């Protein structure tokens, strides 16, 4: 069975790129969810093994809230962002890892492997 990765990302172009990289590496994609609300809709039907969450999501539920909720449910969270100041202040305790955008495919896969090995 493939590892299920929930992608929560509101930038469609970036989400497509990450989705392609995940597929090429053999991961099963859940989503992409384009908002926090969409992420929770996915969770109603499937449980991810790991989540990639954009810190600065548009809408009512930002990425830190979504990541906190996922982490509290036992899902390792890898935060994605171009700016990590907020994560370092407010969300670090829930982060299994952090990746800077744009994400290199090799770094993405290596980070997921590391996070899953320690989960």
Position 65 pLDDT exceeds 80: yes
pLDDT band at residue 81 using 50, 70 and 90 as cut-offs:
confident
Q: What band does 119 get if pLDDT is binned at 50, 70 and 90? A: confident
pTM of the model: 0.93
Query: Domain 4-118: what homologous superfamily?
Result: Response regulator (3.40.50.2300)
Sign of the dihedral defined by the CA atoms of residues 52, 58, 64, 68, in that order: negative
| Distance from C-alpha of 30 to C-alpha of 79, rounded to nearest angstrom | 16
pLDDT tens-digit series, residues 6-47 = 999 999 999 999 999 999 999 999 989 999 999 999 999 999
Domains of the chain, residue spans: 4-118
Question: Which of 107, 37, 44 lies closest to 73, judged by CA?
Answer: 44
């Amino acid at each position: 069975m493939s590892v299920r990765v929930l992608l929560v990302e509101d930038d469609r172009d970036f989400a497509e790129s990450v989705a392609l990289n995940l597929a090429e590496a053999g991961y099963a994609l859940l989503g992409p969810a384009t908002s926090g609300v969409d992420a929770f809709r996915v969770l109603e039907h499937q449980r991810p093994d790991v989540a990639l969450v954009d810190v600065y999501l548009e809408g009512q539920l930002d990425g830190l809230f979504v990541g906190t909720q996922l982490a509290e449910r036992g899902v390792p969270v890898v935060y994605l962002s171009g700016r990590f100041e907020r994560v370092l202040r407010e969300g670090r305790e829930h982060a299994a890892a952090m990746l800077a955008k744009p994400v290199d495919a090799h770094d993405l896969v290596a980070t997921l492997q590391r996070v899953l090995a320690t989960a």
